[in-house]
Every structure is written in C-alpha cells, then in structure tokens.
C-alpha cells in the first residue's frame, strides 16, 4: 500500500479508536459512579468521575484528529496538524484540573468513617479489563498515526487502570482490615494525584512539540540514509525536522555534483523529496535545498 494511503488509513483508525473511547468512557463512568453511590464507596465514585473525564478527553482527541486530517490550504500550507497538538495540550490541562478536583473532593469527607460494600469490586474489575483492552488498542493506533493526542489518551487509559486498582485496594482495605475504614477516602485522593501526574506529563510532551523540538537522532539519521539512496544524492549537509501535529516536516540541505545544471540538480531534489515521503510514513513533506558537493582536494606537494 502506498505511503499516503497508509497514512490516511492510520488516521481513520485513530479517529475510530478515539470514538470507541468515548463510548466506553460513558458506560464505565455511569456504572462506577452509580455503583459507588449505591455501595457507599468514595474511591469508586472518584474513579467514576475520572472515567467521566475520559469521555471529555476522548471527545477532544477525536475533534483534534478530525481537524488535523484536513489537507493543507492557502492559509495553512503546512497542513492543520497543530490542531492535534493543541488538543493534546488541552487533554493534559483537563487532566490536571480533574485530578485536583478528585483529590480535594475525596479528602473533604475523610473524617466520615464508613465501610463500603464488597460488591463494588465487580464493576472495578470489569473496568480494569475494558481499560486494558482500550489502552492497547489506542497505543497501537497512536503509533501508526504518530498522534500525540491519542498517545496521551492511551496513557490516560493505562492510568485509569491504575486508578481502578487503587480504588479496588481501598475498598478491600476498608472492608477487611480493622482500623482502616478511612482507606476508601484516601484511595480516592490517591486517584486524584495519579490523574494530576498524568496531566503534567501530557502537557510537557505536547509543549515540546509546540516549540519545534527536533526528533530523536535515530530518526534524523534515518532521513539522511534514505535520502542518500537516490542516485545523484552525494551527501546531506544539514537536516532539520519539526512535528506539525501527526507527522514531521523536514528541511534538507542536499549535496549534488556542482557541475550539474540547475534543472538536473532540482530533478534530484524532487526525487529525494518523493523518495522520503514514499518510504517514511511519518514524514509529511520535505523542503530540499540544493548545495554543491565539495570533494576533498588532494594536498599539493611542497
């Protein structure tokens, strides 16, 4: 399958997985909040609100992926990929706010000791299983589409599994360990801390893309090696890349034979651009600058 078709298929898969995340988040949020209220578990209610935040986060991600997939136009010659980065930043900020809210809400009633029903463990166990499946599916789709927002959402699913486990442990301690009836409240506050940590991590990663952080050295080396596969490409003087949403835009200073005509040099540059886009599915476009290749001159004899 040609690279552009592969990229479009990956983008469609990412959007579809984000929409599935919305549906599962709605169901799990309602079930856990309802079970927590019915069975007197603060940790489970906190976990349910965390799942409700998943719904909003996944909705933001789906919107960002849709906007980022729009083709380049006269006003956006680099495409609309930054919308995806902005949604990743929005998801991270949302998580920080939700985490703080969960933490404070869980601690407010810590003096009100109570014992939740052990029956609340069943919706928590079901949630762990569903979240494990969704986290794996989202991470695979995020890798194929190179989506920071969907990657953040996949990590959110993984941390949601951890928050489910914290709520589960808090319920079990409250029910079976004498003197730890307050564990349910403290479990809820721990969930809040986990969500804040995930939000901070997501904000940091997306902020790095907004300031045009270069990709890993291995990827830059891959660009160089792939460019030099084209006949007539004699060297790469400089190589820069920046991520604009789902994929990278590359600036390449390509060395060619200085005796070639301008037309022949630019034909090699065009071939290098097309070769990179066809073979590196994480590259959106390439701007090639042609430079003369200067061979080392032999030293003259004294």
User: What is the tens place of the pLDDT at every residue in 182-226?
Assistant: 777 778 788 788 888 878 887 887 887 777 778 889 989 999 999
**Which parts of 77-147 fold into alpha helices (H)?**
82-108, 121-145
Burial of 298 (0-12, 13-18, 19+ CB in 10 A): exposed
Q: Please spell the DSSP secondary structure of 187-230, one letter per residue.
A: HHHHHHHHHHHHHHHHHHHHHHHHTT----HHHHHHHHHHHTTS
> Which is more confidently placed, 148 or 19?
19
Least confident of 1-10, 16-25, 131-140, 251-260: 1-10
DSSP 77: T
Q: Is residue 51's pLDDT more than 50?
A: yes
Domains of the chain listed by start with CATH number = 3-210 (1.20.1510.10), 217-292 (3.30.70.1350)
Predicted confidence at residue 166, as pLDDT, reads 83
- pLDDT over 70, % of the chain: 86
Average pLDDT, rounded, for the chain? 81
Please choose, from the candidates 281, 285, 247, 246, the residue with its C-alpha nearest in 3D space to the C-alpha of residue 18: 246
Residue 299 pLDDT level (bands cut at 50, 70, 90): very low
> Which is more confidently placed, 140 or 297?
140
Q: Averaged over 83-97, what is the pLDDT?
A: 81
Residue 2 pLDDT level (bands cut at 50, 70, 90): very low
Contact 105, 186 (CB under 8 A): no
Q: Is residue 98's pLDDT more than 60?
A: yes
Q: Please spell the DSSP secondary structure of 9-53, one letter per residue.
A: HHHHHHHHHHHHHHHHHHHHHHHHHHHHHHTT-HHHHHHHHHHHH
Residue 233 pLDDT level (bands cut at 50, 70, 90): very high
């Amino acid at each position: 399958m040609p690279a552009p078709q592969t990229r479009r298929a990956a983008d469609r898969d990412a959007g579809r997985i984000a929409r599935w995340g919305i549906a599962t988040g709605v169901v799990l949020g309602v079930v856990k909040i309802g079970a927590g209220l019915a069975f007197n578990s603060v940790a489970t209610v906190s976990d349910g609100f965390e799942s409700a935040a998943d719904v909003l986060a996944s909705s933001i991600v789906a919107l960002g992926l849709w906007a980022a997939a729009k083709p380049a136009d006269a006003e956006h010659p680099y495409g609309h990929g930054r919308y995806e980065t902005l949604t990743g930043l929005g998801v991270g900020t949302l998580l920080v706010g939700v985490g703080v809210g969960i933490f404070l809400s869980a601690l407010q009633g810590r003096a009100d000791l109570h014992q939740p029903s052990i029956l609340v463990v069943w919706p928590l166990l079901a949630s762990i299983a569903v979240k494990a499946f969704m986290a794996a599916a989202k991470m695979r789709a995020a890798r194929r589409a190179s989506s920071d927002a969907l990657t953040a959402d996949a990590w959110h699913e993984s941390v949601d599994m951890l928050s489910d486990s914290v709520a589960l442990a808090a319920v079990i301690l409250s029910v079976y360990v004498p003197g730890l009836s307050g564990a349910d409240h403290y479990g809820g506050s721990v969930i809040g801390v986990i969500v804040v940590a995930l939000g901070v991590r997501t904000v940091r990663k997306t902020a790095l893309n907004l300031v045009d952080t270069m990709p890993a050295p291995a990827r830059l080396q891959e660009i160089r090696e792939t460019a030099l596969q084209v006949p007539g490409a004699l060297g790469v003087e400089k190589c820069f890349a920046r991520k604009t949403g789902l994929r990278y835009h590359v600036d390449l200073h390509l060395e060619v034979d200085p005796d070639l005509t301008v037309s022949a040099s630019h034909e090699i540059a065009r071939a290098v651009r097309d070769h990179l886009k066809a073979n590196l599915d994480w590259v959106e476009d390439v701007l090639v600058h042609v430079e003369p290749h200067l061979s080392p001159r032999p030293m003259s004899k004294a």
